[in-house]
Amino acid sequence: MAELTLREVVEIFAELARAFEANRDRLNELDARLGDGDHGLSMARGFGAVASLLQEKPPGTISDALMQGGMHFNEISGSTIGILMFSAMREAGKAVAGKERAGVPEMAEMLAAAIGGIQKRGKAQVGQKTILDSLQPALEALQGALAAGEPEGPALEAAARAAEEGAEATRKLESAIGRARWFAERSKGELDPGAVSGAIIVRTVADHFSARTDT
Partner 1 sequence: MKTFYNEAETYVDEMLEGIVAAHPGELAFAAGERRAIMRVDAPVKDKVAICTGGGSGHLPVFMGYVGKGLIDGAAIGNVFASPSMNQMLTLTRAVHGGKGVLYLYGNYGGDVMNFDMAAELAEEEGIQVRTVLVADDVASAPKGKESERRGVAGLFYAYKVAGACADSGASLEEVAVTTEEALAQVRSIGVAISPCTVPGAGKPTFTLPEDQMEIGMGIHGEAGIHRGPRRPADEVTADMVRLLLEDLPLAAGEDVSVLVNSLGATPLEELYIVYRKAAEILGEGKVKVYSPYVGRYATSMEMAGYSITLFRLNDRFKGYLDHPVRTPFVREGR
Residue nearer to partner 1 on the CB measure, 148 or 182: 182
| Closest CA relative to residue 144, chosen from 103, 94, 104 | 104
Nearest distance from C-beta of residue 75 to partner 1, angstroms:
5
State which residue, 178 or 198, has the beta carbon closest to partner 1: 178
Shortest Cβ 73–partner 1 spacing (Å): 9
Name the minimum Å distance from CB 85 to partner 1.
11
d(CA 61, CA 32): 38
- Beta-bridge partners for 3: 103
Identify the helix (H) or strand (E) that includes residue 158: helix 152-169
What's the CA dihedral at 26, 34, 174, 118 to 10 degrees? 70
What's the CA gap between 28 and 21, in Å, rounded? 11
Question: Reduced to 3 states, what is the DSSP secondary structure of residue 117?
Answer: helix
- Least distance to partner 1, CB of residue 179, Å: 6
In whole angstroms, the minimum distance from the beta carbon of 17 to partner 1 comes to: 19
Query: By C-beta, is 99 or 121 nearer to partner 1?
Result: 121
Residue 71 or 126 having the CB closest to partner 1: 71
- Which is nearer to partner 1, 74 or 136 (by Cβ)? 74
CB atoms < 10 A from the CB of 208, how many? 19
Count of positions (residues) in the chain? 215
d(CA 112, CA 91): 9
Interatomic CA distance for residues 178 and 68, integer angstroms: 26
Nearer to partner 1, 28 or 204 (CB): 28
CB of 39 to partner 1, least distance (A): 12
The binding site for partner 1 (CB under 8 A) comprises 36-38, 71, 74-75, 78-80, 82-84, 86-87, 121-122, 177-179, 182
